Amino acid sequence: MSIAYLNGEYQPLSEARISPLDRGFLFGDGIYEVIPYYNGKSVGLMPHINRMIDGLAAIEIKCNKSADEWKALLDNLIARNAEMGENLGVYVHVSRGTDVKRYHPYPDGVEPTIFCFCFGIKDPEPVDRTQVTQYSLVSTEDLRWQRCHIKSTALLGNVMHYQEGYSTGADEALLYNADGELTEGSSCNVFIVKDGKISTPIQDNQILPGITRRIIIDSIKADGSLSLEERTITMDEVRDADEIWITSSSKEIAPVTKLDGNAVGNGEVGEIWEQAFKIYTASKYDY
């Protein structure tokens, strides 16, 4: 049985309850994280915690847990759920809390609601171009808000874009802004490869500063054998790319072989993907 954490208490997930006046429920007024653990070892735990602390500060939710307290809480939750499987994701959610009425401004004197639970995740994909799962994407204009760097629980814009892909049998939606520049996916970041060079959009308000994205950039730079640049990428470049990858805590680095029904590059998983995934896999637990 899955054990959840809700406001200081550990309890079966199926018994966890919040008020319908919680601002997370009414307004999507909260911040969340999804953190992977493989065989009890986390990937990017402190960067995830620090991103959440930054997100809470950005929307002025006062939650006075330190990064070390968060780490202890999440490690403890993983240990309590060990029987759920070897590979677990932890969902962490902090909303502004429960007010006595529905009223837009931030209320005073309200305690944040803290909710965390675990769920099973798949084994990592093999570092093998011939075996790895391939993804098919559709592209669509990014119609979300202008603060995509905040990992808000208000995900309707992302959900609607995801559904655009899902309803047509694609695995994800790849998004571009009004100037025809790549932003990210509806639940992931994006990298492209052309002539052996890896590029990904710069970190600004149009994308989530993905932890997987960060680990990929840092580990590839530390390794030194591949070229990687953060820069503006046009959709013409995306359509002309040899490789496209989507990245997230649940997908790690996933190769895309179809975009809008057309083959990406030669239609096969690329060699640079394999080299990059090898570098990432060798160092992901160091972050």
Active-site amino acid positions: 151
Q: Is the dihedral of CA 18, 154, 137, 268 positive or negative?
A: negative
Site for ligand PDD in 60-99 (CB under 6 A): none
Q: What is the 3-state secondary structure (H, E, C) of 162-213?
A: HHHHHCCCCCEEEEECCCCEEEEECCCEEEEEECCEEEECCCCCCCCCCHHH
Stretch that binds ligand PDD, among 10-18, 117-125, 186-194, 255-263 (CB under 6 A): 186-194
Cα–Cα dist 232/182, whole Å: 7
Of 212, 233, 273, 284, the one binding ligand PDD by CB under 6 A: 212
CB of 196 to ligand PDD, least distance (A): 24
Cβ–Cβ < 8 Å for 228, 247: no
Quote the crossing angle between the two packed helices 211-223 and 271-283, to the nearest 10°: 100
- Considering only CA atoms, give the Rg of the chain: 19
Stretch that binds ligand PDD, among 11-19, 164-172, 242-250, 256-264 (CB under 6 A): 242-250
The smaller minimum CB distance to ligand PDD, of residues 22 and 184, is found at 184
DSSP string for 148-163: TTS-BS--HHHHHHHH
The smaller minimum CB distance to ligand PDD, of residues 96 and 213, is found at 213
Cβ–Cβ < 8 Å for 206, 142: yes
CB of 32 to ligand PDD, least distance (A): 7
210 binds ligand PDD (CB under 6 A): yes
Stretch that binds ligand PDD, among 69-77, 209-217, 223-231, 254-262 (CB under 6 A): 209-217
DSSP string for 99-161: -SS--SSPPSS-PPEEEEEEEE-PPPPPS-TTTSPPEEEEEEE--S-S-TTS-BS--HHHHHH
CB of 209 to ligand PDD, least distance (A): 8
Of 187, 200, 206, 257, the one binding ligand PDD by CB under 6 A: 187
Give the three-class secondary structure for 44: coil
Count, residues near ligand PDD per rule CB under 6 A: 15
CB of 204 to ligand PDD, least distance (A): 13
Site for ligand PDD in 109-168 (CB under 6 A): 158
CB of 208 to ligand PDD, least distance (A): 4
188 binds ligand PDD (CB under 6 A): yes
43 binds ligand PDD (CB under 6 A): no
Residues that bind ligand PDD (CB under 6 A): 34, 158, 184, 187-189, 208, 210-213, 247-250
